[in-house]
Structure 1
Amino acid sequence: MNYVEIVNLVFTCIFGLYGLLMLHFVIFGIIGVFTYKKYPKTDVINKYGLIIPARNEEKVVGNLIESIHKSDYPQDKLHIFVIAHNCTDNTAEVARRLQKEGFANISVYEYNNPNECTMGYAFRHLFSCIEKDYGTQSFDGFFIFNADNIVEKNYFTKMNDAFEYYDHQYVVTSFRNSKNFGSNIMSGLYGMYFALGCVCEFRGRNVCGCSTRIAGCGYVISSKVVENGWPYVTLTEDWEFSADQILDSNKIRYCDEAIFYDEQPTTFKVMWRQRVRWSRGHLLVLYSRVKDLLKALFSPKTKHRMSTFDIAMNCLPFCLVLGFIGILQYILLAFAPCFGIDYNTVLFGNQANEWWYNLLLGDGALWGLARSTIGTYFGMLALAIIVFIVCRKRIFHVSLGKKILVSLLWPLFLMIQFPIDFVAMCSRNLGWKVIPHDDKTTINTLDEKRKN
Structure 2
Amino acid sequence: MYTYFDIIMIPLQLLIIFFTVYYFFVSWFGLFGKKKEVKIYDESKTFALVVCAHNEERVIAQLVDNLRRLHYNNALYDVFVVADNCSDNTARVAREAGALVHERFSETGKGKGFALAWMFERLFKMKRQYDAVCVFDADNLVHPDFLKEMNSRLCHGEKIIQGYIDAKNPTDTWVSGVFAISFWIVNHVWSLAKYNMGLSCCLGGTGMCFDTQVLKRYGWRATCLTEDMEFTIQAMMENIPTTWAHDAIIYDEKPLTFKASWNQRKRWSQGHFDVADRYLLPMLKKAFKKRNIVMLDCSVNLIQPYFLMVSTFFVLCSYINSIEPFYTNILYKVIPLEVWTIIGFGQYIFPVAVLWKIRASFKSWMYLLLYPLFIYSWVPITALGWWHRHDHEWNHTLHTRGISFDDVIIPEDAVNDGPKEVVFAKEKEK
The answer to whether TM tops 0.5 is yes
The match for 2:243 among 231, 235, 253 is: 253
Question: How far apart are residue 16 of structure 1 and its match?
Answer: 3.4
SS of aligned partner of 1:274: helix
The match for 1:30 among 11, 20, 28 is: 28
Question: How far apart are residue 429 of structure 1 and its match?
Answer: 3.2
The match for 2:17 among 19, 23, 42 is: 19
Question: In the alignment, does 2:349 pair up with 1:382?
Answer: yes
Cα pair distance change 1:108/1:210, threshold 3 Å: same
Question: How far apart are residue 384 of structure 1 and its match?
Answer: 2.0
Q: Highest Rg: 1 or 2?
A: 1
Equivalent in the alignment of 1:94: 93
Question: In the alignment, does 2:377 pair up with 1:416?
Answer: yes
Cα pair distance change 1:429/1:209, threshold 3 Å: closer
Question: How far apart are residue 159 of structure 1 and its match?
Answer: 1.8
Cα pair distance change 1:133/1:274, threshold 3 Å: same
Question: How far apart are residue 107 of structure 1 and its match?
Answer: 1.7
Contact residue 270 and residue 391 of structure 2 kept, 8 A? no
Contact residue 159 and residue 214 of structure 2 kept, 8 A? no
Contact residue 381 and residue 410 of structure 1 kept, 8 A? no
In the aligned structure 2, how far is the partner of 1:375 from the partner of 1:319? 21
Q: Cα deviation per residue 1:353-410 (whole Å; 9 max; x = unaligned)? A: xxxxxxxxxxxxxxxxxxxxx9999754433222111111xx4xx4x1x223321111
Q: Cα deviation per residue 1:257-313 (whole Å; 9 max; x = unaligned)? A: 11110001010111111111110100000111012111111113x6xx221111111
Residue identity matched to 1:384: P
Residue identity matched to 1:196: I
Contact residue 384 and residue 410 of structure 1 kept, 8 A? no
Equivalent in the alignment of 2:114: 121
In the aligned structure 1, how far is the partner of 2:181 from the partner of 2:383? 23
Equivalent in the alignment of 2:143: 152
Question: How far apart are residue 21 of structure 1 and its match?
Answer: 4.3
Equivalent in the alignment of 1:283: 273
Matches within 5 A, 1:260-339: 260-300=250-290, 305-316=292-303, 317=305, 318-325=307-314
Equivalent in the alignment of 1:357: none
The match for 2:211 among 213, 216, 222 is: 222
Q: Could you state the TM-score of these two structures normalised by the residue count of structure 1?
A: 0.81
The match for 1:436 among 388, 398, 415 is: 398
In the aligned structure 1, how far is the partner of 2:17 from the partner of 2:324? 28
In the aligned structure 1, how far is the partner of 2:354 from the partner of 2:323? 42
SS of aligned partner of 2:409: helix
In the aligned structure 2, how far is the partner of 1:194 from the partner of 1:130? 31
Contact residue 113 and residue 222 of structure 2 kept, 8 A? yes
Q: Cα deviation per residue 1:165-196 (whole Å; 9 max; x = unaligned)? A: 1x2x4211111110101111100111112111
Question: How far apart are residue 243 of structure 1 and its match?
Answer: 0.7
Residue identity matched to 2:212: S
Count of aligned positions: 398
In the aligned structure 1, how far is the partner of 2:313 from the partner of 2:299? 19
Cα pair distance change 1:419/1:379, threshold 3 Å: farther
Question: In the alignment, does 2:127 pair up with 1:134?
Answer: yes
Question: How far apart are residue 23 of structure 1 and its match?
Answer: 3.0
Cα pair distance change 1:313/1:45, threshold 3 Å: same
Residue identity matched to 1:306: I
Cα pair distance change 1:9/1:378, threshold 3 Å: farther
SS of aligned partner of 1:231: coil
Q: Report percent identity of matched pairs.
A: 26
Question: How far apart are residue 89 of structure 1 and its match?
Answer: 0.8
Equivalent in the alignment of 2:419: none
Residue identity matched to 1:445: D
Question: How far apart are residue 45 of structure 1 and its match?
Answer: 1.5
In the aligned structure 2, how far is the partner of 1:22 from the partner of 1:256? 25
Matches within 5 A, 1:66-215: 66-99=65-98, 106-134=99-127, 138-165=129-156, 167=157, 169-215=158-204
In the aligned structure 2, how far is the partner of 1:72 from the partner of 1:243? 32
Cα pair distance change 1:25/1:345, threshold 3 Å: closer
Cα pair distance change 1:38/1:379, threshold 3 Å: closer
In the aligned structure 1, how far is the partner of 2:244 from the partner of 2:365? 29
SS of aligned partner of 1:299: helix
In the aligned structure 2, how far is the partner of 1:377 from the partner of 1:266? 30
Question: How far apart are residue 115 of structure 1 and its match?
Answer: 2.7
SS of aligned partner of 1:28: helix
In the aligned structure 1, how far is the partner of 2:323 from the partner of 2:15? 29
Residue identity matched to 2:172: S
In the aligned structure 2, how far is the partner of 1:150 from the partner of 1:130? 23
The gaps in structure 1 that reach 5 residues or longer are 100-105, 334-342, 348-373
Cα pair distance change 1:232/1:324, threshold 3 Å: same
Equivalent in the alignment of 1:337: none
Q: Could you state the TM-score of these two structures normalised by the residue count of structure 2?
A: 0.85
Equivalent in the alignment of 2:58: 59
Question: How far apart are residue 28 of structure 1 and its match?
Answer: 2.3
In the aligned structure 2, how far is the partner of 1:430 from the partner of 1:231? 15
SS of aligned partner of 1:290: helix
Cα pair distance change 1:329/1:450, threshold 3 Å: closer
Cα pair distance change 1:129/1:417, threshold 3 Å: same
Residue identity matched to 2:130: F
